[in-house]
Amino acid sequence: MKKTLLIVSALICFGCQQAADQPAFPDGTWLDLSYDYSSETIYWPTSEPFRFDTVFAGHTEAGFYYTAYQFCSAEHGGTHMDAPIHFSEGKKSVDQLPIEQLVGPAVVIDVSTRALRNPDYLVSVDDIRLWESSHGKLADGQIVLLKTGYGQFWPDAEKYMGTAERGPEAVAKLHFPGLAPAAATWLVENRNIRMIGLDTPSIDYGQSTLYESHQILFEANISALENVANLDKLPLQGAYVIALPMKIKDGSGGPVRIAAWIPPGNE
């Protein structure tokens, strides 16, 4: 017991010393990789749009100012996370994902030159290998972010998704890039990534009907970030990403605020 108290005291003293000597986080730049939620937020054609209602806004009878609102949102809209259970029975729901799986070093694989010429572009194994030929093999535990260039179209649904129409019939009209199922399989079998994300509405491309990349990744308990913002401002490597979704019990996903820390010299 005495030994335990001594260790705890030492850690407290060390923490206090760190707080006095340096900032809580090293120097660098913080970048928000999330879109806000509003009437402009893009959702899947079959999902209800974001709703934001006023409960009260103004001065109360007691004289003080007060605001309160309520909102309604589908799990999968705006900048959000897909949990493995979304497409894999028995896998982790969003509340079961451990914190250590939601944070980590990030790399950006830029395929925008090709993807912007082809709205049905599939990010391939060759794209990943091409990145590795210049930057080295993907290290264990990295968060892989795919930059297709489609973030520049947000929040124009027609340019971003291929259609602004709503309802089940609109799904067949979706056109945007995604990850090829063969590349998803290759990542699962040959690399040990922590999470994957991209700047389009889905990890599978718009014309997918089986959502195979979802199935492959989620069976391996690899979560996906969708509608990621500002990938054009993120360096190809060196950043550290924190992606903490709303903790919805048994949820298949949820809105997420993604923050990236960029160390000095990597901006």
Question: What are the residue numbers of the active site?
Answer: 86
- Which string of b and e fits 236-249 if b means at least 16 CB within 10 Å? bbbbbbbbebbeee
d(CA 162, CA 165): 9
Angle of helix 181-190 relative to helix 212-219, nearest 10 degrees, comes to 10
DSSP string for 228-245: ---GGGS-SEEEEEEEEE
**Which residues touch 242 (CB under 8 Å, ≥6 apart)?**
102, 103, 258, 259, 260, 261
- Helical H segments across the chain, by residue range: 2-21, 112-115, 125-135, 157-161, 181-190, 212-219
Dihedral Cα 197, 142, 190, 129, nearest 10 deg:
70
